[in-house]
Amino acid sequence: MSNHEHGHHHGEHGATPTQVLMAEHELILQALDALEARLDRMGDEPTSADRAFFEKVVEFLRGFADKCHHGKEEDLLFKKMAARGFPTQGGPIAVMLSEHQAGRAFIRGIAEGAAGIGSDPRAGEMIDRNARGYLDLLRNHIAKENQVLFPMADRTLSAEDQRDLAQAFDRFETQETGAGVHERMIGLLQELRAGAS
C-alpha cells in the first residue's frame, strides 16, 4: 500500500476524508510494526524500559488510533455513510464498530500488563497475548477499510458529502483532539520506532 502521496497531516488541502484516514492508517501501521519488533525481543522478565515502551504504546493507541482516528470514523464517516443508506445493524459498518470495541479491550490488556511489570509474574504473558491480538485485529481491520469500506464510501458519497466530511474532520481535529495533540502523537510515534529495536 503506498499512501505516501497523501501526506501525513490532518486537514491537508486537497485530501479527501478517506485519504486522510488512509494516511492515518500508515502511521498506525508504523506503530504496530514497532510494537511487534519490541515484543519479539522482550524477555520472559519484562524490564522497566519495557514498561516505559508499552506505556507509550498505550498512550499512542488510545490518543491517536482510538480517539483521533476511530473517533473520525465512528462519529463522522460511518454516520455519513449511514445517512446515505448503509446499514448500521449488520454489514461492514457493524463489523468495523465491533472491531474498534475489541481493540479497546486489547489495549486495556496491554495497559494492565504494563502496570504489572516488576510485580506480577504474568505481566509479560499478558502484554504479549493482548498486543499480538491487537496487531492481528488492527492490521486486518485496516486492510478491510482501505480495500473494501473506503472504496464503497467513495463510490457512494457525493462531492458535497466529501466536502462536508472534510470540514467536519477539521473541526473534529481542533475541538475533540485539541491543539498540539497531533504533534505530540507524531513525537510519540518517533519514540516508539526508536525503542522498537
The footprint of Fe ion (CB under 5 A) covers 73, 96, 145
Residue 55 · residue 113 · CB < 8 Å: no
Residue 27 or 181 with smaller CB distance to Fe ion: 27
Q: How far is the CB of 193 from Fe ion (least distance, A)?
A: 20
Closest separation in Å from C-beta 171 to Fe ion: 19
Amino acid sitting at position 195: G
CB of 2 to Fe ion, least distance (A): 17
Q: 45: which 3 cell numbers?
A: 522478565
With cell 498540539, the residue in question is 180
Q: List phi, psi (to 5°) of 14.
A: 90, -15
CB of 70 to Fe ion, least distance (A): 5
Q: Give 50 or 145: the residue with its C-beta nearer to Fe ion.
A: 145
For residue 13, the 8-state DSSP code is T
Nearer to Fe ion, 145 or 173 (CB): 145
Considering beta carbons, is residue 142 or 196 the nearer one to Fe ion?
A: 142
Grid coordinates of 101: 470495541
- The CB-of-138 to Fe ion minimum distance in angstroms stands at 8
Closest residue by Cα to residue 166 from 25, 12, 27 = 12
Give a three-class secondary structure readout of 125-190: HHHHHHHHHHHHHHHHHHHHHHHHHHHHHHHHCCHHHHHHHHHHHHHHHHHHHCCCHHHHHHHHHH
Closer residue to Fe ion, CB minimum distance, 47 or 140: 140
